[in-house]
Structure 1
């Protein structure tokens, strides 16, 4: 093999002659994981040539068993399999015996021995960039990232002008949201005021439109922390149960997944065991109670934590749902991204007549170690129920969240 001839395999066949005008991008593993379609973006039609080191494939093979990354690896492999002519696999001179070795060294070795003329390593690993520079290999960051999105993020509840109609979805018409709801199309030109709560933006207003619509039984809401999912759901629940009296009771269900250090065993009654996990719910209910009295919700609101009347309001762990039949109630399922598909099915199958259910969460904040961004309860709800006549989904957005510090976190991607 001559030194100036790339020793490669292209989509399983011999490499073709390279045009000197084309850029030759070599893609690192982290780029494919951040954007599974990166190789198509970099190729830009047929403008450039894209190469994948063999050790990158080995890394993907290892990571496919990772519960956090396996679903993204599946997307990457699918794109590679469907586009065999879009990339070239570099053939290594030697293969790492184990991943205890630093695989980046083998990736650089593949590039150096490939014979490619002026290859450009595309990686967001700054250390690897420095190592490449030391060996005279050019490198660049991948700037056009389109990170993986779950169904709950990808389907925002809004449709484009060319999209086919979907039940209970929205579209924009001259800057105004048009709702394709149970009663047909209508422009949402009015602002809701639910339990004396005025929406901060159009998305919160549309969330209340879905939550208070009598023709919709199940509403899922996806958003980052701080956009008011739980607050809006509780306000709508108070409105339906205490003001409209269309529902007799409010249930709040939440999976008990700890963040950070474990609290360990907690003694006491169910309410006492749940209190660390549901304190924010109690605080939001009290905030709504101060906005407009909800006295029928309590045995006593003068103590903290308040004593809720179990006939009107109940906080339940997932374990207590099995065997129940819930009827004529508003059910709020918070942090549904931390529920498995089977838990989600078990819970929703408990819903009887006259139930309004709000499924809330953020698929990018999965704390359950056995779930991931795609394989979680909230995402399964959107995937399976999208288009159903009595189901609606919305992604909450906005420039302001719960406060200026949260705004900083969201804006700067902490």
Structure 2
């Protein structure tokens, strides 16, 4: 049975292709959604880009037919703009003022009531919104509501972690230590291993015998880690995941590395340490470029007083804190003098590196969970020859209003590249900031 999907504004601002994501069903856009999209189209960010895309698509559909009557889509569905907001009474009784959200709810409720008047041919009416409270309100009104899930990559614990623990016969562990590799095809594993994935072998008989290995880039065998646990710019890996991360960060044959984990797991610190070694000691790259997205919590950066560096400092401060630790600076201002003297380390907001071609550089993108899929594609596709890019973030800690743990650009990138030999990923699990910080993360 075909359905009627009523779309909230945030769905289209999150993914403009949602217009075509509901198959052969009817897609309804309330007129108030057009007003909200119009108010966003002048923005210079991802939301503005999506608003402009939706506007152009609706204009293209308008040339095919009248949108208020419904226009046939190529996938067999129908797209319709609903101009009639009749019967506000029920919504006003429950929620009072007719806000834009309540107007969208009213459209969904009216469609639902109209369909119920024809029980034999009634189509299910579903309100699609990324706003939790809108979905709660719809439930109060008796209207089915769903989150927009079409762009989600993986759910919950299905996220790729870049590591796996296998319980094997001790003879296989002994074989590895003898020959320094294991053929994956001959191990008889039931699960698929990905290139550059880390494998911890444990004795299935219960002894303490174990081994830490990595899948080769061609995915054919298990190999030992190439790096010993030596300090990197004064930083030593404190756990197995940090050692895995350093293995990927210092491997010049892996140009794309993603690291995820909660705050305090050491993602940024060990990445900066590895970057400084590659740029300053080994001279593998011409420059270390460090950037993070600016997601304003109040006024946008353009409205803040001061020069660009002064505006960016509050958002970049976590980066500077880690650099101060690595350079062991004692006084305020020492780090700025060091960075100015080196000239090979550049700290930027992500806004200022878009559109550039970046060859021969090591690029670190911090807080990448606040990027959309399109933004991640734009950034990674700009990486030039002989460059390496590292993206860091915590998918559970997102400041972007239209992204979540399953739909953000970092998660999308991890899942899309997990089978590629040029990329590697590790999820860091153990907090190493301090005993207090670890206990707080667990207890609070």
The interval holding the TM-score normalised by the smaller chain is 0.5 to 0.7
Q: Which residue, 210, 233, 239 being the options, matches 2:248?
A: 210
Partner of 2:437: 406
Distance 2:126 2:397 in 1: 25
Confirm or deny: 8 A CA contact 2:160 2:414 kept in the other structure: no
Q: 1:175-254 to 2 correspondence within 5 Å?
A: 175-182=210-217, 185-188=222-225, 190-254=228-292
Confirm or deny: 8 A CA contact 2:323 2:335 kept in the other structure: no
TM-score of the aligned structures, taking structure 2 as reference length: 0.56
Residue by residue over 1:151-183, the C-alpha shift from the partner in whole angstroms, topping out at 9 and shown as x without a partner, is 6x4434336553223110111123321111349
1:65 aligns with 2:138: no
Which ranges in structure 1 are unaligned for 5 or more consecutive residues? 1-59, 74-95, 104-146, 294-299
1:365 aligns with 2:397: yes
Distance 2:369 2:157 in 1: 11
Partner of 1:47: none
Aligned residues between the structures: 279
- Note closer, same or farther for the CA distance 1:332–1:100 as it changes in structure 2 (3 Å cut): same
Distance 2:237 2:200 in 1: 19
Confirm or deny: 8 A CA contact 1:216 1:389 kept in the other structure: yes
Confirm or deny: 8 A CA contact 1:68 1:373 kept in the other structure: no
* Larger helix percent: 2
Confirm or deny: 8 A CA contact 2:214 2:223 kept in the other structure: yes
- Note closer, same or farther for the CA distance 1:272–1:306 as it changes in structure 2 (3 Å cut): farther
1:171 aligns with 2:185: no
Confirm or deny: 8 A CA contact 1:67 1:369 kept in the other structure: no
TM-score of the aligned structures, taking structure 1 as reference length: 0.60
- Note closer, same or farther for the CA distance 1:345–1:159 as it changes in structure 2 (3 Å cut): farther
Confirm or deny: 8 A CA contact 1:67 1:372 kept in the other structure: no
Cα displacement (A) at 1:409: 3.0
Partner of 1:149: 156
| 3-state SS of paired residue (2:328) | helix
Cα displacement (A) at 1:362: 0.9
- Note closer, same or farther for the CA distance 1:241–1:408 as it changes in structure 2 (3 Å cut): same
Cα displacement (A) at 1:150: 6.6
Partner of 2:190: 162
- Note closer, same or farther for the CA distance 1:68–1:258 as it changes in structure 2 (3 Å cut): farther
Distance 1:245 1:69 in 2: 52
Cα displacement (A) at 1:333: 0.5
Confirm or deny: 8 A CA contact 2:254 2:423 kept in the other structure: yes
1:386 aligns with 2:418: yes
Distance 2:137 2:319 in 1: 52
Which ranges in structure 2 are unaligned for 5 or more consecutive residues? 1-124, 143-153, 167-188, 203-209
Distance 1:383 1:202 in 2: 22
Partner of 1:320: 352
Residue by residue over 1:259-302, the C-alpha shift from the partner in whole angstroms, topping out at 9 and shown as x without a partner, is 5x6587322222211100011111111110129x9xxxxxx985
Partner of 1:278: 316
| 3-state SS of paired residue (1:308) | helix
Confirm or deny: 8 A CA contact 1:170 1:178 kept in the other structure: yes
Cα displacement (A) at 1:317: 1.8
